[in-house]
Structure 1
């Protein structure tokens, strides 16, 4: 069973929106775009423990906090509802039998419901069966509280057999036992690392206890029976003396049995709920050898333990039987562990839905598995990355890390090579360091520099990054041959397209940097161990033409990752920087600054998931990881 489509209405920062998911999907987008909202929405519908929180939802779970009839927008329902519909596909035979009356035909080609079929049709000739389920939440004015529940989205009960004022109207309830067939597991390591390893309801360990209990009988009953036999007053001399003294004194005022065990010293209240609170896993990690409570471990160690528990749950449920949602698995984990974790969940879980800001995570997903989320005026949309025919799979594999960083960026500057990347970053550093220049560094502006691998390839990436919702800029040398019509059409995707009037960036620099700066540069680099000796050194005194010619040859000899261009830029004062790169970067700054100002003016006043996470998680002691 897999989640194919999530439709959200009136939930947090999303007024409405639809997200399509694959068997394994990576959700990416800017901060507060809605990644966590999608995961939380799935938890509302499929989470085993989510509905046990009180309240199920609160004021700020409604879009722009509009939950009362008086606060509803014109034309809206009298009582605005949070509505999240999830379409589940690839149903098992067991699920199709159990939910037979709630299924609808699904068209994979249209990503939508197909026309209905006769009630007695067991199998479809074309398409497949799907199970639509929905969460509905609202404010109950009579109770002065919030209410919410999950329902089968199909079929509608016969009119007159239900109270129209009832939550969910004519829909049948999608109960806890029904959710077991979904196998939904939601992990938030950035917020609930400690919680995941506790015995609290909905935690990962609670999931394991429940799954093991299904096979071996109730572990809680066995634990209570074992602890019930422990009485420290029978085994510890000091407690024995205390018990006997208490018995002799209590009997003067209260009738108690004659047996000595009328008073006992036991480890807890011996209830399931109390055991959930007091039980702890003790773990020893190298280089230490002494076991300590898990909550005393480092954040990274906790997240690795969470990873270990996931392997356990996957084995208990069986291969491919878990719908697993995970937020930011990279928290406090080194790159190799991030990669291992992602590889594990995508090979053992039935479906994996991940959010991340780590290039080490993103590079593990193929482009068609990366779901780019965008949100404007409360409308959430999703799209996958289409490389088209211009970027071959081998080229993508070579540029995988670059693509991962571009996916995370707000804007992308496509350049033709590594030398250009280094040069523009050096100029940006110089502009950022000048207190008199109004300029925002690419790292602050969210601008990623992308090496296209050649001047003719620069335009090809414009449509790709534009389709991701990025603002895209492009620059390259004057090509040896004019751009083809296809390349010219692709270049139209650039917000700014700069073609420099030179055959290379080195020619541009030596033409726009003064000979005096070039002399300083050549003097300082000639003693470096990696200086290209075949170029010779600058004779003293040297004419301007000699300095320009030698600087050009040195720069061309040291290109790419070993480029000397940043060293030349470092010799420039603010007024000595090359004019063309400076103007280009300042023009990019203007475009991005204008876009930011417009976005701020259109921003919604209500809180969204960027500042909702902790309060939502902490509003109930049951706010843990939902799992089945």
Structure 2
């Protein structure tokens, strides 16, 4: 059983919207795009314990807190969340037969009704639509909510008109068991998952084991009921005797000493849920401590271990698992292992994340980009890479794509040298108090290495389709761009051909010769200086300095480029104008508020070669 579509109305920041999911899904989008809201919505509909909380929803669960009727003549606003479940097991189809509807994968919507007595479909598949409804009950001055089968409607007369859900039949707790829904929140994951509270991972394990062996809570209460510390500990026994002798002066009590006992619990299920703790010892060290005293990373690894347990208990492909930000306090290799496990063993994994180590484990077709506008309308769409981007290329660039997916904007460049150079210039602009500039790390700008100048235009439509603001920059190619490449460049908010055959030519042309001399002197003593380039003669001309600087830069390209070292020798006024202008223009596009243009420094302004003083 899998979630195919989630339709949300008037819930939290979402006024309306649909999210389509297919198999395992990774939800991505900017902050406040609605990722957590979608997960919370799923729990309201499918969660076994969620409706036991009081209140089920509150004022802030209604979009813009509009939960009351405008006047006596209008109905109160309802929260409505509909979930369509597909890939139903044979057992689920039998149990929910009267509530199924045909589903069309081509239209991602309900298909025309089948005959009343139809058992098989000519095309398409059966789906189970279920819905959560929540509202404010003015008569009780409280909120109410419940889950229902969304199909069919009951005949009139079988329900009261003011009943929540009205003509819909309740979707009860026993029905939800067939969904196998689990939800892990961020931050609270460890404390919540490893407690014995309702809906926790351990509670799920206790419930599954109880289905096989009988109630574990009953067994625990029986075992604890036999423990009396006053019987086994002399000090407590003496206290009991003293208390008994005094209490009997004022209260009639049985003659037996057992009239007073000292027990470790109230001996109720709810109290046990509150006080029971798992004690765990981790290395280094051997002494077990309560789980909530462990590190956050250790807690999340324990959560991973419990997930393997639940997967074994429920059987393969039988869990719908929603998880927010699994990367919290986990090293990259554990993030990858966790994601690989849930996608390999759960029936469906629905994950939100800001980690490229998580995102790279999902195929592009499994990544769903969420966007929410100012009116609260939520939209979703999968990532489309186009026909020209081969799977091999995507696999090679997974990490880059993952970071781009998380960004507000993407600057596509032609090589690794351009990436490190632009970042070095961005650092310099950010360090200059006289320049209004937001660093790419703050602005949410990701730099993407396309691999060549002719590849740059191709990525414009790809990132634009993701809803990103896209920029492109490259050298002057050896052959003009094709008409198709020219068309692709229209997807860029800014697209420039820098006018030079290589970035080294741009740098040595736009950076003053004096700076290049300082650069050559500085790098000549480095162990990785290209010896074949030789040294700059003492009486060398500016042209000789440019030629040697160009040669050295070309010998040290890529991620180990010397270009950032050249940028480090520049004052603010000595930075290459073409790239500075590009970065400031991108800053204007990404800034939430307009900024005044940065005037160039006066020609007689003091210059410094120390960027820390710039």
Answer whether contact 2:46 2:181 (CA < 8 A) is retained: yes
The within-5 A match list for 1:143-542 is 143-376=140-373, 377-542=375-540
The 3-state SS of whatever aligns with 1:190 is coil
Q: Which ranges of structure 2 fall in alignment gaps of 5 or more residues?
A: 595-614
Equivalent-residue separation in structure 1 for 2:153 and 2:544 (angstroms) = 85
**SS of aligned partner of 1:30:** coil
Q: Determine if the alignment matches structure 1 residue 51 to structure 2 residue 51.
A: yes
Quote the Cα distance in structure 1 between the aligned partners of 2:220 and 2:158: 46
CA contact (8 A) 1:14 1:380 kept: yes
Q: Give the CA deviation at 1:597.
A: 3.5
Q: Which residue of 2 aligns with 1:602?
A: none
Could you tell me whether the CA contact under 8 Å between 1:190 and 1:327 is conserved in 2? no
Mapping for residues 548-627 of structure 1, pairs under 5 Å: 548-593=546-591, 596-597=592-593
Map residues 74-113 of structure 1 onto 2, 5 A cutoff: 78-113=75-110
Q: Distance in 2 between matches of 1:186 and 1:28?
A: 17
Distance 2:573 2:246 in 1: 93
User: TM-score if structure 1 supplies the norm length?
Assistant: 0.93
Partners of 1:150 and 1:40 lie apart in 2 by: 14
Superposed displacement of residue 71, structure 1: 8.7
The residue matched to 1:453 in structure 2 has which SS?
coil
Q: What is aligned with 1:114?
A: 111
Residues 174-229 of structure 1: per-residue CA shift (max 9 Å, x gap) = 11111000000000142232121111111111111111000011111111111111
1:516-544: CA deviation from partner (whole Å, max 9, x where unpaired) = 11111111111111011111111011101
CA distance in 2, matches of 1:100, 1:47: 21
SS of match in other structure, 1:136: strand
Shift of 1:258: 2.0
Are residue 20 (structure 1) and residue 20 (structure 2) matched? yes
User: CA 1:71–1:597 in 2, change beyond 3 Å: closer, same or farther?
Assistant: farther
Of stretches 228-237 and 23-32 in structure 1, the one that deviates more from structure 2 is 228-237
| Residue 372 of structure 1, CA deviation | 0.7
Please give the secondary structure, in 1, of the residue aligned with 2:187. helix
Q: Which residue of 1 aligns with 2:608?
A: none
**1:457-492 alpha-carbon deviations (Å, 9 max, x no partner):** 101101111111100000111111111121111111
Q: CA deviation at 1:575?
A: 0.5
Q: Corresponding residue for 2:602?
A: none
Q: Is the 8 A contact 1:2 1:323 kept in 2?
A: yes
Alpha-carbon distance between aligned partners in 2 of 1:434 and 1:233, rounded to the nearest angstrom = 73
Does the aligned pair in 1 maintain the 2:189–2:300 contact within 8 Å? no
Structure 1 residue ranges (4+ consecutive) displaced by more than 3 angstroms after TM superposition: none
In the TM superposition, residue 266 of structure 1 has moved relative to its aligned partner by: 1.3
Partner Cα distance (1:457, 1:224) in 2 = 68
C-alpha distance in structure 1 between counterparts of 2:253 and 2:37, whole Å: 58
Distance 1:495 1:138 in 2: 44
Per-residue deviation at 1:388? 1.0
Q: Map of 1:29-40 to 2, 5 A cutoff?
A: 29-40=29-40
Please tell me whether the aligned partners of residues 304 and 338 of structure 2 are also in contact (alpha carbons under 8 angstroms).
yes
Structure 1's 146 and 416: CA in aligned 2 closer, same or farther, altered over 3 A? same
Q: In the alignment, is the contact (CA less than 8 A) between 2:148 and 2:165 conserved in 1?
A: yes
Question: 1:625 — aligned with what?
Answer: none
Q: Give the alignment's TM-score, normalised by structure 2.
A: 0.95
Count of paired positions: 593
SS at match of 1:382: strand
Is this contact kept in 2: 1:189–1:303, CA < 8 A?
A: no
Q: Distance in 2 between matches of 1:114 and 1:34?
A: 28
Deviates more, 1:8-17 or 1:188-197: 188-197
The worse-fitting range, judged by mean Cα deviation, of 176-185 and 249-258 is 249-258
For 2:187 and 2:582, the matched residues in 1 are separated by 39
Asked whether 1:141 is paired with 2:150, we answer no
Alpha-carbon distance in structure 2 between the residues aligned to 1:242 and 1:544? 96
Over the aligned positions, Cα root-mean-square deviation in angstroms equals 1.3
Describe the SS at the equivalent of 1:69: coil
Q: 1:161, CA displacement in angstroms?
A: 3.1
Q: Helix, strand or coil for the counterpart of 1:456?
A: coil
Q: Which whole-Å deviations, capped at 9, do the CAs of 1:57-109 have from their partners, x for residues lacking one?
A: 1111111111111299xxx9631111100000000111101110100000011
Taking the aligned partners of 2:55 and 2:212, their CA distance within structure 1 comes to: 33
Q: Deviations over 1:433-463 (max 9, x none)?
A: 1100011111110000000011111011011
CA distance in 2, matches of 1:188, 1:99: 30
Q: Do the aligned partners of residues 8 and 424 (structure 1) sit closer, same or farther apart at CA in structure 2, a change above 3 Å counting?
A: same
Check if 1:125 corresponds to 2:122.
yes
Q: Secondary structure at the match of 1:118?
A: coil
SS at match of 2:16: strand
Residues 197 and 294, structure 1, Cα contact 8 Å, conserved in 2: yes
Greater relative CO (CA pairs within 8 A, separation 6+): 1
TM-superposed CA distance for 1:232, in Å, is 1.3
Separation in 2, partners of 1:249, 1:385: 77
Residue deviations 1:259-318 (CA, integer Å, cap 9, x gap): 221221111111111111111100000001100011111111111111111111111111
CA distance, structure 1, for counterparts of residue 455 and residue 170 of structure 2: 55
Alpha-carbon distance in 2 for matches of 1:220, 1:68: 42
Q: 1-side partners of 2:327 and 2:30: how far apart?
A: 16
Please state whether the residue corresponding to 2:526 is helix, strand or coil: coil
